[in-house]
A and B are shown apart, each in its own frame.
Chain A
Amino acid sequence: MSETGIPQILAPLTGGEAAALAALAGHFSAAAAAEGLVDVAYRVVDSPVGSLLLARTEAGLVRVAFASEGHDSVLDSLAANISPRIFLAPARLDEAARELDEYFAGHRRRFDLTLDFRLAQGFRREVLDYLPQITYGHTASYATVAAMTSSPRAVRAVGTACARNPLPLVVPCHRVVRSDGRSGAYLGGPEAKALLLALEAAS
């Protein structure tokens, strides 16, 4: 809030507020968690493809977001689509952060995280279910993925499902490429996709 409107006679009252609030906010997240009032926990981690926002619900990891998606707008959409009871709670995402670290270090080929797919419905969800079948270091075309689904001709819809994958990296939409061999679009940008495919090819 603006401090400019405070009469000078009252100004001394605002001293020390910042420190008090920092302590209060810290205790508050813990108290909220203890009361079961945290519906979505998140943290931000650094990675070779830029900073990643990781969010989870009670059911599991629900969102992985690239910086290019705008972490603030991702939080807003989590608030709108899941619950506004969202808190920065890094410890609750330790496991996801560790597995991603191992993946980027080339030591992990498959994720063992519990996933919450509530942000992908219908056909999009169906596509995501098939993606783990494309194993580490391999790629498949959008057409090949479409052929696995209940709508084998829905190549474009497969592209959409990949582009709107709420759990990139963990659900490997980066392994879906164009039929002509070019890597195609990616949520995290074409450089990120190239980096991931190179990482997997080398490990």
Chain B
Amino acid sequence: MSMNESGGAGLARAAAAPRAAPPPFEMLVSAHGTAVLRVCRAMVGVVDADDVWQETFLAALRTYPTAQKVVNWQAWLVTIARNKSLDHLRRTARVPEPMDTAGDGPLEGGDVVVHAVEAGETAAAVWAALARLPQRQREAVVYHHLVGLPYAEVAALLGNSEAAARRAASDAMAALRALLGGDGKGHGKD
């Protein structure tokens, strides 16, 4: 955990370094393309993620020359990716599973997960497990653990407090460990 914390802080520092002008847009694509892809995949699924990734960067590019006040390009792009993902979900009427109200919680999807694991699709299994999480938990884990945003930025995205964001991520990790078999192959500490 401590490694991750320092990683997040490092990213934030680098992104917040004062610049005279926005860098060439290509630099943003190469520096943050991965983070945006992870957000899109987690939000809309691997298949639709490519389209949403494209929409995200095009939207960013349209407003880019006037985005002078942005201090953290990564957080800015993740915000756009999140909005584009939510738009996409609304458009396709595939509202993210409202797990909070589903009663039995994440373990409900266990069968799908087991299936995927048995098929040897490790990544698919993890995506499936992630998809079973309540949206807020899923987002917290993606923004913090996959993208590397500090909890303060995660809270800003989710519109909650830093403590709540931290709790959501930690609940999510516990749920993922339960879903994927915490001591399974390669799943060590986090």
Contact = CB atoms under 8 A, between A and B. Distances in A.
A13 B146 contact: yes
Interface residues of B, number: 53
Interface string B115-140: 00000001101110010000000000
B126 A12 contact: yes
Interface size, A (range): 35 or more
Contacts of A23: 50
Given A27-B54, A37-B58, A86-B25, A11 B186 contact: yes
A84 B37 contact: no
Contacts of A2: 7, 10-11, 148
Interface stretch (A44-52, A74-82, A108-116, A152-160): A74-82
A28 B54 contact: yes
Interface stretch (B87-95, B97-105, B156-164, B173-181): B173-181
B69 interface: no
A86 B26 contact: yes
A54 to B, nearest CB: 15
Contacts, number: 124
User: Which of A13, A31, A85, A86 is most buried by chain B, counting CB atoms within 10 A of its CB?
Assistant: A13
Nearest to A79: B24
Interface stretch (A14-22, A128-136, A178-186): A14-22
A83 to B, nearest CB: 6
Contacts of B177: 9
Interface string A70-114: 000001101110011111100000000000000000000000000
Nearest to B32: A1
A5 B145 contact: yes
A24 B62 CA distance: 18
B29 interface: yes
A141 B4 CA distance: 62
Contacts of A7: 4, 145, 173, 189-190
Given A1-B11, A24-B50, A25-B29, A85 B58 contact: no
B84 to A, nearest CB: 14
Contacts of A10: 126, 141, 145-146, 176
B55 to A, nearest CB: 10
A38 B78 CA distance: 22
Given A9-B190, A84-B25, A16 B123 contact: yes
Contact of B3 (A5, A15, A39): A5
13 contacts: A1-B31, A1-B34, A2-B11, A4-B3, A5-B8, A7-B4, A9-B177, A10-B146, A14-B38, A20-B50, A24-B53, A78-B24, A83-B65
Interface of A: 1-2, 4-17, 20-21, 23-25, 27-28, 31-32, 35, 37, 39, 75-76, 78-80, 83-88
A-B complex: 8 closest residue pairs judged by Cβ atoms: A7-B190, A5-B7, A5-B4, A80-B21, A86-B24, A84-B22, A12-B122, A12-B123
